[in-house]
């Protein structure tokens, strides 16, 4: 009869005794030559009692020279293994000393990239699972608190980053979902990238146009020579003028009064306004947050209008019923709030609740409600 492998507890330690092994081997030999020629359970245990691996139905163990089971970390054959408090070799995720490790099906500790459950993880050379920012090779990656590698947009506090489909953090300019986006060298998002604009010289007498919409800003200027056809009542281009007149009339029917303040401004007038703003704010950089440089103002297009309410203008206009009405209905007339709050990093201009831009009803439909969408975002780049 083939002997069974058994554990004996000696001084609180589980072991296979030498006497027990000798008995097993004798019994196995007595069973006949065939038993001796074929390695059996007793022979395997006899070998294991010296030191090393022991295979059991429930898993693998690693024995000391005295037959006791090892626990914790063990290095064997150049690889690290982990054994639980009962001596059983572990596989999969293991937490030890506050850090997570991953053990392959063979029990060997993994290092480098591993894919588990559809997600990628990175284990440092010492086996510890990476979390947060980690530089692997020449690229930066971000791993969440569970260790899974992140892809796509990532917001940390008020800062945005973008991780490519295979993990590395993006820097420079990249087209994402059809829109050109810009990132600093540290990965922080600058906003939309600059749309290619190859106009030079006399070509600047016409505005930069994307999908039928003129885009003018610091990246897409127009020259002093650009002078649109202007209706004198509201100082707006014909289509914008007619739409604005209808909008004001309908607001009046709703019991509200939208006060016109500014429409078309020439290149030279804009230059004077910027000079005044610089004198007031102390530097050109500070002034440009509130006053566009000549050649970069939408007012020169004849498509922008600044408005107010009888009771308030400037930033205070945002608290009026007239402002609320415009946010709800301006798109119906083809107008959009051009410089929404929180989008200065895209538009280059601070929040202006009074500045509305005519783009036509079809395009303005995308800006319905308080969406916060900018014209740059809508057109796919700055």
Catalytic residues: 352
Q: Are 319 and 310 in contact (CB under 8 A)?
A: no
The CA distances from residue 1 to 28, 37, 56, 199, in Å, are: 8, 15, 19, 95
Burial class (CB in 10 A: 0-12, 13-18, 19+), 47: middle
Alpha carbon 146 to chain centroid, angstroms: 17
Which of 145, 185, 180, 129 shows the shortest CA–CA distance to 161? 185
Contacts of 268 (CB under 8 A, 6+ apart): 224, 294
Residue matched to tokens 């947050």:
289
The gap between the terminal CA atoms of the chain, to the nearest Å, is: 84
Q: How many CA atoms lie within 13 A of 121 on its CB side?
A: 24
Q: SS3 helix, strand, coil % of the chain, rounded to 5? A: 25, 30, 40
Q: Is the dihedral of CA 340, 341, 342, 346 positive or negative?
A: positive
Residue matched to tokens 């995720």:
93
Q: Are 297 and 357 in contact (CB under 8 A)?
A: no
Q: Are 80 and 91 in contact (CB under 8 A)?
A: no
Locate all alpha helices (DSSP H) within 115-266, ordered by sequence. Answer: 238-253
Query: Tokens at residue 13, please?
Result: 């330690």
The CA distances from residue 348 to 207, 219, 220, 237, 344, in Å, are: 18, 10, 12, 24, 5
Cβ-based neighbour number of residue 345 at 10 Å: 14
Which of 101, 111, 99, 168 shows the shortest CA–CA distance to 136? 168
């Amino acid at each position: 009869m083939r002997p069974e492998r058994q554990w004996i507890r000696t001084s609180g330690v589980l072991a296979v005794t030498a006497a027990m092994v000798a008995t097993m081997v004798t019994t196995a030999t007595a069973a006949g030559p065939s038993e001796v020629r074929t390695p059996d359970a007793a022979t395997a245990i006899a070998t294991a009692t010296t030191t090393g691996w022991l295979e059991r139905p429930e898993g693998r163990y690693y024995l000391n020279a005295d037959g006791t089971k090892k626990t914790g970390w063990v290095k064997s054959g150049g690889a690290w293994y982990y054994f639980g408090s009962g001596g059983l070799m572990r596989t999969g995720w293991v937490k030890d000393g506050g850090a997570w490790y991953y053990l392959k099906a063979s029990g060997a500790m993994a290092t480098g990239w591993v894919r588990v459950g559809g997600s990628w993880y990175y284990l440092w050379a010492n086996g510890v699972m990476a979390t947060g920012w980690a530089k692997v090779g020449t690229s930066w990656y971000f791993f969440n608190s569970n260790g899974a590698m992140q892809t796509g947009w990532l917001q940390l506090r008020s800062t945005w980053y973008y991780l490519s489909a295979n993990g590395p953090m993006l820097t420079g300019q990249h087209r994402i979902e059809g829109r050109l986006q810009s990132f600093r060298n540290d990965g922080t998002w600058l906003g939309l990238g600059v749309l290619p604009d190859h106009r030079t010289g006399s070509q600047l007498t016409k505005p930069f146009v994307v999908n039928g919409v003129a885009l003018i800003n610091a990246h897409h200027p127009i020259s002093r020579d650009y002078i649109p056809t202007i209706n004198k009542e509201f100082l707006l281009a014909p289509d914008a003028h007619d739409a604005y007149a209808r909008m004001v009339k309908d607001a009046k029917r709703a019991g509200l009064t939208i006060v016109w303040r500014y429409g078309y401004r020439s290149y030279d007038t804009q230059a004077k306004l910027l000079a005044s703003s610089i004198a007031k704010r102390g530097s050109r950089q500070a002034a440009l947050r509130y006053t566009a440089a000549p050649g970069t103002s939408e007012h020169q297009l004849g498509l922008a209008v600044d408005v107010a309410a009888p009771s308030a203008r400037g930033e205070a206009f945002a608290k009026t019923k007239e402002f609320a009405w415009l946010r709800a209905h301006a798109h119906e007339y083809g107008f959009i709030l051009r410089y929404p709050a929180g989008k200065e990093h895209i538009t280059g201009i601070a929040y202006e609740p009074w500045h509305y831009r005519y783009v036509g009803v079809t395009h303005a439909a995308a800006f319905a409600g308080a969406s916060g969408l900018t014209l740059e975002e809508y057109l796919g780049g700055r």
